[in-house]
Every structure is written in C-alpha cells, then in structure tokens.
A and B are shown apart, each in its own frame.
Chain A
Amino acid sequence: MTNLTDLGVRELRDGVRAGTFSASEVADAHIVAVSKAKQLNAFLVETPDHAIAAAKEADAARVAGQTLKPLAGVPIGMKDLFCTKGVQSAAASHILEGFKPEYESTVSQKLWDAGAGMLGKLNMDQFAMGSSNETSYFGNVISPWRRADGGNAPLAPGGSSGGSSASIAARLCPAATGTDTGGSIRQPAAFTGISGIKPTYGRCSRWGIIAFASSLDQAGPMARDVRDCAIMLEAMSGFDAKDSTSLQLDVPKWEAGLNASLAGKRIGIPKEYRVDGMPAEIEALWQQGIDWVKDAGAEVVEVSLPHTKYALPAYYIIAPAEASSNLARYDGVRYGLRDLPEGANLQEMYAATRAAGFGAEVKRRILIGTYVLSAGFYDAYYTQAQKVRTLIARDFDRAWETCDLLLTPTAPSAAFALGEKSADPIAMYLNDVFTVPSSLAGLPAMSVPGGLDASGLPLGLQVIGKALDEQGVLNACLAIEERAGFKARPDAWW
C-alpha cells in the first residue's frame, strides 16, 4: 500500500481523479502526519475540518461523475502570513495573536476554489522577517533534517517560510504557500531539499497577505518537485482588482508547458555571485548545475551583474522602510494586542502595545526603517537605495541581452544550526545574498535541490528568469531536477 503522505500534488490529484484512493483517505493520512509531528513546531494552528470538508467535496464530485477541480483531493499548508477567514492569522507574532480575519486572502481563496483543503497555518519568522525561523513568537521551527555527524543539533529550516519548508520536507503536506520578500521561499526550500518559486512581482495578488515590504512581497508555492510547483502556481496566480500592483494578464498553462529540453537557451553565470568564502561544496554544486544545463542543451555564458554587492544594503534600507510604514497599523486599536498600562494615555498605549507585541527583529527593522525615512536622512538612505535598485534592475536587463536565464546557488551555505547566527544580524542577512537581487528587480526565481553536502544536508540551485518568464524558469529547474535525481529525505525522528 502506497504511503499517501509520500505522494506529491500531481500524484494525489491524479490518484483521486482515477479513484486509486479517495480524497478523504488522503486528508486523513496527512492530518495524522501533522498531529504526530508536533516536535517540528511547523504548524501554529491545525485545521483538520477544513481539509476534511474539501476532501468530502472532492469525493462527492467524483461519485456524481463531475469534473474534478484542479487541486481536488490535495491538502496543503498555509503560511501564517495569509489571512484565512475565521482562522487565526498572526504572522507568527504576539501583536496579532488571536486575530481571526473576517475575510480570506485572494491567494488562499483561489486555492480553495481550485479544490485544495487546508491542513493548518504554518509557522514562520515573525512578519516574515528572518532567515532561520527563529523570530517566530511561537518558537522555532525545527528542520526535519539532521547532520550526518550523529550530533542531532537542531537545524534551521530556513526562513521566513520555515514552517512551509519543514512540513513539506517532513511529508506532513505535499505543498504549501510561501511568501518571498528577499528570499523567503527560495532559501528555506534550499535548506530542506524541496522546490519553491517566487513568480514575477504582481503575478500573485498581495490582497489579504499581511504586508511586510509591499514593493517586494510576492507569494509563491513550495512543493517537492518542479511540476507540483507549476500546478500550485497556476492556481495561486491571476489578476486581482483588489491589489493595485496585480498584473492584468492571463495565467499561462505552466504545467502543460513543462519541457526539460534547454536547446536554444542561453544560461548566464553571473561572475559577481562567486563571493569570498563560499564553501567549496557550493562552488562544486554550481559547476555541477552548469554541466547539467549544458547536458540539457543550453549554451552557458558568463555575465556580469556589477551592482550585486549593493543589493543587500539597498534591501536593508528599502524593506525596513516599507515595513516601518506597513507595521504602523498595529496600534492596539483595530485588531490584535492592546497593552494599556494603568493611567496610560493614547500615545502611551500605542507605545506599550508595540513594545509588548513586536519581537526583537521586528523592532530592529522598524527602527531602521524609521531612521532611514526620518527628516534629513531620507535622500541619503531611501532615495539612494531606490536609485541603486534601478541600477540592479538595469544589470539584469543588460544580462538579458546575452542570456535567457541565470543559474546561481540559492544560498551561500547549507542549513545552519539554530542559534548559530542569531546573535549577529548582518551574518543572518548575508544568507540572502543570492536571492535579494532578483527580488529587488521583481524577477521570477526558483530554487531546486541539487544534492547533499558532506554532512548530508541539501543544497539548492537557483534559476532566475526575465519578468513573466516563469515557464523558462520552471523548465530549467525541471532539467536540473531530472539530472540531479534528488531523492534524499530526512528520517522521521519526530
């Protein structure tokens, strides 16, 4: 008997359609897996009733001979950044603890409309600010992976979509939503040996996603293979009048368009991504990736993205600036926490509420953002960062004159141990060195597993594409996936 939790999105969808198993059996198997995996701390809220209801609908539709919806029979995990009606949506923060939205985010609604069911809300870095899932108010997510040294040091599942990555790698759900502001889909995918794509900015509606940095935030799917990501992305994408930056374009048939031949494609290798101190294993994997895309028919060319080194500092002006503005809404009046010390006036209530409700990293970023936007500093920091952002986007435009896609490592290291980098904010920020530039330029980018390092931990490769060329990105990742043959999975110790 097949273990239903080992199956991916396509296999579950097709199996339910064919009647090989019922959607209810699929939902039950995953609900049990979730309930047994509390040690991973990946789920903040479990919603078995939601998953069961969607499964029953799929089973009833099949019995009635109706055409099944695109994701009928597929239970998924929902990152806690997405507002889900009547289900706590806290962005893993204290200030929104207990917040039960009266509305559903556009992306989650699209997934339910496509027939998917929700297993629960997934833990994450608080307000999506972090690269290790150590900033959640509700505790760290523990990666299901362990180093092969027998030490059992708890490892970071990456961040900010760490509950998503951990639960997919641990076979608690076949797919989950993520959001990516500077790498929050791709880096956790790389750390846990799964795939994840951040589409072009504007493909997925931001409506109902708790805002971090609105010019960068973009939702995307995470799953165990490229095809499953394509299926999920089709369901999540599409124009939404409620998001002013939503792209008014038809959603391409990405799954049907999958093609692992890269004949005629030119793949650029940006020389500035060879950073000092990059581990030899990452360097070797990158070379392996180059060989794989050549084998798939691509021509490989060296390109230059000269402003790469300025992407992170620009990001750490722009993202905190937008965050300080977006998070101004948490004031103890309209939703979430209120801290009203005895005798406090309104201003004191705001300050007390925000002091009690935000974690250290969130406060740090609000303070940075407030500083760079404050009178006298605005032009030197924020305007300069937005100009540098123009230059970074221009670098990519110039690269597209000689290549169609870019291939890079996803992260500069494999997963690190929890606590290893949390004392040094800049060391943590540097983890996003390869993912931030494409975020600043709004480009589609995907991480796909490439192999394991010497301690048995997954390493990811990243493909970056031109705006709107998700198909090219998916296809290149498929070519890599077929050649990497990545089958490793963590032992179920939890």
Chain B
Amino acid sequence: MSVDAATVKKIASLARIAITDEEVAKIAPELDNILGWIEQLGEVDTSSVEPMTAVIANKLRLRDDAVTDGGKRDAVLANAPQAEHGFFTVPKVIE
C-alpha cells in the first residue's frame, strides 16, 4: 500500500481542507509512513471478535419526549462569523 499524491488530494477534498501541491508532496510520505505503521493491525486474528461499541457497559437512556431547550436563537448565532436577520449567512449557493 502506498499513499500517493492523488490519494492525498482526494482525502483532503473529502475532508474539505484546501491543500497546495507543496503540502501534498510533504504530507503524502508522512501519511504513507503512519499508515504503513498502522498496517500491523492486519496481523491480529480477529475472525471471532466483535468490534467494540461501548467501552464501559452502559444502557442508553431514554428521556421523556418533552421540550427541554430552545428559544436561544441569539445565543446560537452569537459566535457566527456572519449572521443576518436571525440566520447564519453563507456565500450564495444557487445562482
């Protein structure tokens, strides 16, 4: 397995992180090295093992179907880089 430049560009795009060609050239061997080191997990026989889902056995609770929160529009928007008329604003997405 090897992580090449095209792979790095693809995962950076999936992760929504802009990346320059210089950064790709630097990161590709780093990721290749780390993923190569991680590969050793493949040697563990896990054929009869269930993947862990909860580290401490804990029953998921159910709560009453009641309104417990809300009415906090201004608090929710308070840290927005840009908010107008009670909404988050973003660049135009529909022409």
Q: Does the CB pair B31–A367 fall under 8 Å?
A: yes
Within 8 Å of chain A (Cβ to Cβ): is B60?
A: yes
Within 8 Å of chain A (Cβ to Cβ): is B15?
A: yes
Chain A residue contacts of B56, Cβ below 8 A: 200-202, 245, 247, 442, 467
Within 8 Å of chain A (Cβ to Cβ): is B6?
A: no
**A287 CA to B83 CA, complexed, in Å:** 61
| Residues of chain A in range 327-341 having any CB-CB distance to chain B below 8 Å | 328, 331-338, 340
Q: Does the CB pair B50–A387 fall under 8 Å?
A: yes
Within 8 Å of chain B (Cβ to Cβ): is A402?
A: no
Q: Does the CB pair B27–A364 fall under 8 Å?
A: yes
**A436 CA to B93 CA, complexed, in Å:** 44
Chain A residue contacts of B14, Cβ below 8 A: 370, 374
Within 8 Å of chain B (Cβ to Cβ): is A292?
A: no
Residue in A99, A333, A345, A393 whose beta carbon sits within 8 Å of that of B88 in the complex: A333
Which residue of chain A has the shortest Cβ distance to B81 in the bound complex? Answer: A338
Chain B residue contacts of A279, Cβ below 8 A: none
Within 8 Å of chain B (Cβ to Cβ): is A56?
A: no
Q: Does the CB pair A310–B17 fall under 8 Å?
A: no
Chain A residues with a Cβ closer than 8 Å to the other chain, count: 72
Which residue of chain A has the shortest Cβ distance to B88 in the bound complex? Answer: A333
Q: Does the CB pair B51–A355 fall under 8 Å?
A: no
Which residue of chain B has the shortest Cβ distance to A391 in the bound complex? Answer: B49
Within 8 Å of chain A (Cβ to Cβ): is B38?
A: yes
Q: Does the CB pair A99–B44 fall under 8 Å?
A: no
Q: Does the CB pair B55–A351 fall under 8 Å?
A: no
Q: Does the CB pair B80–A334 fall under 8 Å?
A: yes
Which residue of chain A has the shortest Cβ distance to B38 in the bound complex? Answer: A313
Query: How many whole Å from B36's CB to the nearest CB in chain A?
Result: 10
> Given contacts A215-B55, A374-B14, is CB(A244)–CB(B34) below 8 Å?
no
Please choose the segment from A219-227, A377-385, A480-488 that sits at the chain B interface, where 4 or more of its residues have CB less than 8 A away: A377-385
Query: How many whole Å from B90's CB to the nearest CB in chain A?
Result: 5
Residue in B8, B51, B61, B90 whose beta carbon sits within 8 Å of that of A346 in the complex: B90
Which residue of chain A has the shortest Cβ distance to B68 in the bound complex? Answer: A241
| Per-residue contact bits, chain A 358-380, to B (CB 8 Å; 1 contact, 0 not) | 10000110111011101000001
Chain B residue contacts of A387, Cβ below 8 A: 44, 46, 49-52
Within 8 Å of chain B (Cβ to Cβ): is A347?
A: yes
Which residue of chain B has the shortest Cβ distance to A355 in the bound complex? Answer: B18
Chain B residue contacts of A371, Cβ below 8 A: 3, 7, 11, 31, 35
> Given contacts A332-B81, A354-B17, A358-B17, is CB(A374)–CB(B11) below 8 Å?
yes
Within 8 Å of chain A (Cβ to Cβ): is B12?
A: yes
| Per-residue contact bits, chain B 68-95, to A (CB 8 Å; 1 contact, 0 not) | 0000100110111110000010111100
Residue in A202, A310, A350 whose beta carbon sits within 8 Å of that of B40 in the complex: A310
Within 8 Å of chain B (Cβ to Cβ): is A261?
A: no
Q: Does the CB pair A245–B18 fall under 8 Å?
A: no
Q: Does the CB pair A368–B91 fall under 8 Å?
A: no
> Given contacts A244-B60, A313-B37, A390-B50, is CB(A370)–CB(B91) below 8 Å?
no
Chain B residue contacts of A314, Cβ below 8 A: 41
Which residue of chain B has the shortest Cβ distance to A441 in the bound complex? Answer: B55
Query: How many whole Å from A341's CB to the nearest CB in chain B?
Result: 9
Q: Does the CB pair A316–B34 fall under 8 Å?
A: yes
Within 8 Å of chain B (Cβ to Cβ): is A13?
A: no
Within 8 Å of chain B (Cβ to Cβ): is A349?
A: yes
**A455 CA to B12 CA, complexed, in Å:** 43
| Residues of chain A in range 384-400 having any CB-CB distance to chain B below 8 Å | 384-391, 393
| Residues of chain B in range 11-68 having any CB-CB distance to chain A below 8 Å | 11-19, 27, 30-31, 33-35, 37-42, 44, 46, 49-56, 58, 60-61, 63
Q: Does the CB pair B41–A346 fall under 8 Å?
A: no
Within 8 Å of chain B (Cβ to Cβ): is A93?
A: no
**A337 CA to B58 CA, complexed, in Å:** 37
> Given contacts A102-B78, A202-B56, is CB(A367)–CB(B15) below 8 Å?
yes
Q: Does the CB pair A313–B41 fall under 8 Å?
A: yes
Chain A residue contacts of B7, Cβ below 8 A: 371
Most A Cβ at <10 Å: residue of B53, B58, B75, B93: B58
Most A Cβ at <10 Å: residue of B8, B15, B61, B80: B15
Which residue of chain B has the shortest Cβ distance to A340 in the bound complex? Answer: B91
Which residue of chain A has the shortest Cβ distance to B7 in the bound complex? Answer: A371
Q: Does the CB pair A388–B17 fall under 8 Å?
A: no
**A253 CA to B71 CA, complexed, in Å:** 38
**A241 CA to B66 CA, complexed, in Å:** 14
Q: Does the CB pair A346–B58 fall under 8 Å?
A: no
Query: How many whole Å from A268's CB to the nearest CB in chain B?
Result: 20
Which residue of chain B has the shortest Cβ distance to A100 in the bound complex? Answer: B79
Given contacts A101-B79, A335-B79, 16 further A-B contacts (CB under 8 A): A102-B76, A102-B78, A245-B58, A248-B61, A337-B81, A340-B91, A345-B92, A347-B16, A352-B18, A355-B18, A367-B15, A367-B17, A381-B41, A387-B51, A389-B51, A425-B33
What are the nearest 10 A-B pairs in CB distance?
A442-B55, A386-B51, A338-B81, A387-B46, A335-B79, A355-B18, A351-B18, A102-B75, A389-B52, A370-B15
